[in-house]
A and B are shown apart, each in its own frame.
Chain A
Amino acid sequence: MSRTLILGGVLSALMVLAALVSFVWTPFEHTAMDIPAKLQTPNATHWFGTDHFGRDMFSMIMVGARTSIAVAFVAVGIGIGLGVPLGLWAAARQGGWVDEIIMRGNDLIFAFPSLVIAILITAIFGAGAINAIIAIGIFNIPVFARVTRGGALPLWAREFIMAARVAGKGPARISVEHILPNIANLLIVQATIQFSLGILAEAALSYVGLGAQPPTPSWGRMLADAQTLVSIAPHMALVPGFAIIITVLGLNLLGDGLRDALDPRLRVARV
């Protein structure tokens, strides 16, 4: 196993662990205010310090990991759930009108500035985690459709697919039974990348107040709270910022490592 994979795996696991443990244990109640203890820098009692309401930042980061991971996870799920079947369908009908429509539709979604549309969706249909998930998820669909189609097309020319056709299997069955297992590697790698992008997007939406609403803690909103206090309590901005960076970095490294580990042929420099 490469060092990239191990480092990425450890960092990602750390955040997942924090999220899971937060269901049963946090050092403090994450919503518990303690005004006399406000704005403390990291110390033995409050490992990551406290915010302007005296809430324990370590607990908030743990519970916030839950929000980030849940939003990104479901958004990636939407992308896979809709994008992969579309991509498989397009590949099976390569050059046909179905392929053309799906790919042009993809281009169109790509042309929309995703952040603007996400802001539009959440602002119009109400701020909240669900709408944030939908807004982020929509833009995952074309990504997965494209990766799936791109991975599936060369397979359709291979002998084992020919054999399956000769054996009388239809395009749908071939797609599911033979194409999908062979592009699973590609999809897993893409999923990790989209996962990290989803975490960044969720943080941005929450930062402008359009993501998860109080009292649900989220890293982006913690940063928004920190903005006016950054000069007197820099740790309020540093702590959630590092949480985001470590998670995204971990997922990206994990994606790179997985790509190399799963398929040596894919060892191209990642962009």
Chain B
Amino acid sequence: MLRYTFKRLLSLLISLAIASLVIFMVIEVAPGDPASFMLGINAQEDTLAALRAELGLDQSKLQRYLGWVGGMVQGDFGTSYQYRTPVSQMIADRLWVSLPLALYALALSTLIAFPAGIYAASRRGKAGDIGVMGATQIGVAIPNFWFAMMLVLIFAINLRWFSAGGFAGWDKGAFAALKSLTLPAIALALPQAAILARVMRSALLDVLGEDFMRTARAKGLTKGQALRRHGLRNAMIPVLTILGLQFSFLLAGGIIIEQVFYLPGLGRLIFQSISARDLIVVESVTMLLVFAVIVVNFAVDLAYAAVDPRLRART
């Protein structure tokens, strides 16, 4: 296990290094000079030069890359060109919206998908199965931002149960905050739940054909008992992978949904920073999201290896 962990950790670090390099280079070739963007078209050349020096833009590319990565390792994400505040602080504020939103959506997605997948698998080929599978086909075809608009139309504009957008803030209490995240979370969760339910169903169907399930039935367990005691646990491996992927997707996928609901999360931060040429913020938020995805996948890999010793030997 230790050897496996070490190997995976090494590949994690390499991935992070390459990812940071790619992001840095993409931002580097971006047209538009942040200094002239901030000072406007009438800025004097020496003022521009002074600002560039202050922002560290006059250093060599290598120095800037190393400075950026070195800072991030220590939790210093640089200073926003636009607001002159530490990027880490801006990210921390926004994370309090994006992270709960992703977790909320993940919880909803699991709550819908697990029962639906288990139900479909247990009624394989019957009307219930066909109904659930048909619903998931439509679920994966719905763009989540369109679904979000429909939710706003029905529950905010017509029924007035929720507000159409904006975030109440955690200082108004957890209930108010969660309430303002409910519609966005549903919009994010539904298409993901459709995928998850399909994975759950097919994983269970694979397991149901296994010899140990027949043994479990032969020793007198009912279909339901065998499914709960032996089936679910074995079906969890593919389901866990998808869950891991979905969490990172939900965190990053919130970008569009945050636009629909005017939520002050990481997604809006990225959009605002891109249009203001506040590249250091764009760079750092992107890196953070990539970091989250890579680390979650790493954790999922380790979780498997802990659950299933066969996987340790394979890689």
Contact = CB atoms under 8 A, between A and B. Distances in A.
Interface of A: 104, 107-108, 111-113, 115-117, 119-121, 123-125, 196, 200, 203-204, 207-208, 223, 226-227, 230-231, 234, 237, 240-241, 244-246, 248-249, 252-253, 268-271
A15 to B, nearest CB: 12
Contacts of B31: 124-125
22 contacts: A104-B11, A108-B18, A111-B294, A111-B297, A113-B248, A116-B289, A117-B286, A119-B255, A123-B271, A124-B29, A124-B31, A203-B143, A204-B143, A207-B143, A223-B143, A230-B152, A230-B153, A231-B153, A237-B149, A269-B198, A269-B202, A269-B205
B289 A113 contact: yes
B269 to A, nearest CB: 12
Given A124-B30, A269-B205, A245 B141 contact: yes
Task: Determine the main DSSP class of B at the interface with A.
Answer: helix
A50 to B, nearest CB: 19
A245 B153 contact: no
Contacts of A204: 143, 145, 256
B108 interface: no
A88 to B, nearest CB: 23
A245 B138 contact: yes
A55 to B, nearest CB: 20
A268 B202 contact: yes
A123 B274 contact: yes
B137 A249 contact: yes
Contact of B142 (A121, A123, A234, A245): A245
Contacts of B141: 196, 244-246, 248-249, 252
Contact of A244 (B146, B149, B195, B293): B146
A236 to B, nearest CB: 10
Nearest to B145: A207
Contact of A269 (B152, B201, B251): B201
A270 B201 CA distance: 10
Given A223-B146, A271-B202, 18 more contacts: A104-B11, A111-B15, A111-B19, A111-B294, A116-B286, A119-B270, A120-B270, A120-B274, A123-B274, A124-B26, A204-B145, A207-B259, A241-B150, A244-B141, A245-B142, A248-B141, A268-B202, A271-B199
A208 B15 CA distance: 29
Interface in B2-33: 11, 14-15, 18-19, 26-27, 29-31
Nearest to A241: B146
B249 interface: yes
B270 A113 contact: no
Contacts of B99: none
Contacts of A107: 15
A120 B282 contact: yes
B303 interface: no
Nearest to B142: A245
Contacts of A120: 26, 270, 274, 282, 286
A253 B146 contact: no
A108 B275 CA distance: 27
Given A112-B19, A116-B252, A237 B202 contact: no
Contacts of A207: 143, 145, 256, 259
Nearest to B242: A271
A7 to B, nearest CB: 10
B26 A121 contact: yes
B293 A111 contact: yes
